Structure 1
Amino acid sequence: MPSEQICEASDGVRIAHQHAGQGPPLVLLAGQANNHHWWDDVRADFEATHTTITLDYRGTGRSDSPREGYSTEIFARDVVAVLDDLGVDRADVYGTSMGGRVAQCLAAHHPDRVRGLALGCTSPGGRLGVERDAEVRRQLAQSDRTAARQALLELMYTPAGLATRRGPYRVLGDPTMAPNARRGHLRASDGHDGATLLGAIAAPTLVLHGTDDRLNPAANAPVLAERIPCARLRMVDGARHAYFDEYRSVAGPAVLDFLSTA
């Protein structure tokens, strides 16, 4: 069970963060509108070799939920506050989905804090990003919330994956979020534009993506890999958005192997 602490961000917002395992520090960044439980099912895969560090984004979990102040750059500054609170000068960072956008900001604007970088199922956003198709948007926006939840599950996992899992599913969002925080997370993710960030990333970088990801289209992965200096690309064949969970036997070792040589 991870130990939890509370620290104060630069604007006074209280951020809950968790750490577990032993070894060099590895920050794990979750997707949009999710707290640290996003990593519950796979966290142990990293704890034998790393001290894993997670946080509840502002607006989620046990962190404060301010009315304003949501962006991927602000989330990145919150990560710096967590590292400062733990006395960690430099860490490896693995960001997935919106967490990958936060990780881009962290690596570009705070390069001294990032040793190695892994970006999973994410995109550059803005002018470079490849948007999900209209049918996916329609499925997620339908008024029947049960149907929308099922659509999200099917975007996260393959039919074979869902057939062998009965939940609980950790990647469907924090149900305790206030409406203003949920809107803030959406604005933060939608407002991210990595066009000016990617070329400034100096950390060795691994880009991972499921080949069958429609929630964050797989076409975003080569865009990232081409624009980040010295990045490597690893596509996970057949995987959807939650590749890091359903294909953990492939994804976890790929990240650890990369970080061991970064």
Structure 2
Amino acid sequence: MSAHSTATIEGVPYATTDGGVKLSYQVRGDGPALVLLQGQANDHRWWDPVRDDFASAHLTITFDWRGTGDSDKPDEPYTTRGFAADVVAVLDALGVDRAHVYGTSMGGRVAQWLAADHPGRVGALVLGCSSPGGAHGFERSDDVRRSLAQRDRAAAERALLDLMYTPAWLAAHPGPHRTTGDPGMPAYARRRHLAASAGHDAWDALPAIGAPTLVVHGTDDVFNPAANAPLLAGRIPGAGLRLIEGARHAYFEEFREVASPMVLEFLAAGPL
């Protein structure tokens, strides 16, 4: 295990990578370690609405991706594989040899590399609303892309929320929402995150994943098309697949009463 340091700045704990990047992390709960990995351009607050579901049974570990939250924001290329190395730096700083991993959206892409490149560090693996990327993955439609690229930022924000949640849920939960990006991110860091997620391609590495794996996806997810779920499950040896009927991209929040127990049950059976 590499020696990565841990320290605090103004009371905020952080790990330092081999390259000197400081990564802010958060720990809550008690029990077997569980790393929670959020989506692109989001900090750890992505998990706030559901974190207690997992902290009641696990030592939950989150961190702010480089470029987000209280972590450093170097203006240099980011990759999902590099983000996986950052996860290892956080685990090393905490003295955690092995942890379960639950990654959603881009966090699921990072989790794929974590399990492939660092198999000894991963117990059970959950990949939520994710994709293998590259030429084999299913990309969002041009209509979805255009809706997110509108110059009217309020309209683009509404389009994003519509991709994350059902209209009925949004009507009952007006926000604030934790899944639409870190508002404090510099523009260059947002572009770096977008490039990292778009450049993800773990197809060739997936068959080497040996961790018990569960793939979870909402059937109505068009932000990261649901067709990616059976691709991942079929490519990773022995992986299970669970689809949540009617759910969009943020299935883990809107459908938490289904999703959280499903994931907890899977993790309880996984070796650590």
TM-score band, normalised by shorter chain:
over 0.9
**What is the aligned partner in structure 1 of residue 179 from structure 2?**
171
Of the three residues 78, 89, 92, the one matched with 1:70 is: 78
| Map of 2:28 onto structure 1 | 20
Q: Write the distance in 1 (CA, Å) between the matches of 2:205 and 2:12.
A: 31
Q: Distance in 2 between matches of 1:58 and 1:75?
A: 8
- The secondary structure found in structure 1 opposite 2:252 is helix
CA distance in 2, matches of 1:178, 1:36: 17
Cα offsets for 1:137-182 (capped at 9, x unmatched): 1100111100000000000000111111021100000011111111
Q: Quote the offset at 1:4 in angstroms.
A: 4.8
CA deviation map 1:66-123 (0-9, x unaligned): 0104100110000000000100000000000000000000000000000000000010
Where do residues 210-225 of structure 1 align in structure 2 (5 Å cutoff)?
Answer: 210-225=218-233
Equivalence for 1:55: 63
**What pairs with 1:94-173 in structure 2 (closer than 5 Å)?**
94-173=102-181
AA partner of residue 190 (structure 1): A
The match for 1:185 among 178, 193, 199 is: 193
Partner Cα separation in structure 2 for residue 122 and residue 174 of structure 1: 20
Counterpart of 2:43, as a letter, is N
Secondary structure, counterpart of 1:20 in structure 2: strand
Instruction: Indicate conservation of the 8 Å contact 1:10/1:78, yes or no.
Output: no
Q: Which of these residues, 32, 39, 60, is aligned with residue 40 of structure 2?
A: 32
Q: TM-score under structure 2 normalisation?
A: 0.94
Give the SS at the match of 2:210: coil
Quote the Cα distance in structure 1 between the aligned partners of 2:65 and 2:205.
21
Conserved 8 A contact 1:89-1:113: yes
Percent of aligned positions with the same letter in both sequences? 63
Q: Runs of 4+ in structure 1 displaced over 6 angstroms?
A: none
Which structure 2 residue ranges, 5 or more long, are not aligned? 1-10
Contact 1:4 1:19 in 2 (8 A): no
Q: Deviations over 1:2-52 (max 9, x none)?
A: x95111012110000000000010000000000000000000000111010
Q: Is the 8 A contact 1:157 1:242 kept in 2?
A: yes
Aligned counterpart in structure 1 of residue 101 of structure 2, from 85, 88, 93: 93
- Determine the C-alpha separation between the residues in 1 that align with 2:77 and 2:197: 13
In structure 1, the residue matched to 2:8 is: none
| TM-score, L = length of structure 1 | 0.98
**CA 1:251 to 1:4, structure 2 compared with 1: closer, same or farther past 3 Å?**
farther
Q: Which has the larger displacement, 143-152 or 160-169? A: 160-169
Q: Which of 247, 254, 258 is the aligned partner of 1:239?
A: 247
CA distance in 1, matches of 2:129, 2:86: 22
Q: What corresponds to 2:4 in structure 1?
A: none
Paired amino acid for 1:17: Y
Distance between the aligned counterparts of 1:179 and 1:10, measured in 2? 25
1:28 and 1:53 mapped to 2: Cα distance?
6
Q: Distance in 1 between matches of 2:208 and 2:189?
A: 30
Q: CA separation in 1, counterparts of 2:250 and 2:56?
A: 22
SS at match of 1:259: helix
Distance in structure 2 (CA, Å) of the matches to 1:230 and 1:4: 40
Report the counterpart of residue 251 of structure 1 in structure 2: 259
For 2:180, give the aligned amino acid.
L
Give the paired residue count: 260
Q: Which residue of 2 aligns with 1:226?
A: 234
C-alpha separation between the residues in 2 aligned to 1:119 and 1:64?
26
